[in-house]
Amino acid sequence: TQLLEQSPQFLSIQEGENLTVYCNSSSVFSSLQWYRQEPGEGPVLLVTVVTGGEVKKLKRLTFQFGDARKDSSLHITAAQPGDTGLYLCAGEAGSEKLVFGKGTKLTVNP
């Protein structure tokens, strides 16, 4: 069973601060996705990374896939209250199933 460990579990910061969220596994994944979920709603895809060492940027969000394709990180620059939500990573290991981490709950205070 592939497991994805996310850290930290909770993160509360002030508007304007930078933060990094981690997603780690002992398994190799063919791709890894990051989702954001707001209260009362389903997760929404932010990005998919496929190649080891890949870096993708989405405005103030930077996503990186580890060289060995076992880990990933999400860095947010100058966080805003609108970034508040649950951030989930999900990995695909070629079994037609996505494995989700438990999520990082981010609160950005104005």
Partner 1 sequence: NAGVTQTPKFQVLKTGQSMTLQCAQDMNHEYMSWYRQDPGMGLRLIHYSVGAGITDQGEVPNGYNVSRSTTEDFPLRLLSAAPSQTSVYFCASSYGRGPGDEQFFGPGTRLTVL
Q: Which of 29, 4, 27, 15 is nearest to 104 (CA)?
A: 4
User: Closest distance between partner 1 and the C-beta of residue 80, in Å?
Assistant: 23
CA 11 to CA 86: how far, in whole Å? 10
Cβ proximity to partner 1, 44 vs 78, nearer residue: 44
Q: Site residues (CB under 8 A) for partner 1?
A: 1, 9, 30-31, 33, 40-45, 48, 50, 88, 90, 92, 96-98, 100-103
Beta strand 104-109 pairing with 10-14: parallel
Cβ proximity to partner 1, 13 vs 98, nearer residue: 98
User: Closest distance between partner 1 and the C-beta of residue 103, in Å?
Assistant: 6
Hey, what are 16's tokens? 């304007």
CA 72 to CA 88: how far, in whole Å? 11
User: Closest distance between partner 1 and the C-beta of residue 51, in Å?
Assistant: 10
Cβ proximity to partner 1, 6 vs 108, nearer residue: 6
> Helix (H, G, I), strand (E, B), or coil: what is residue 10?
strand
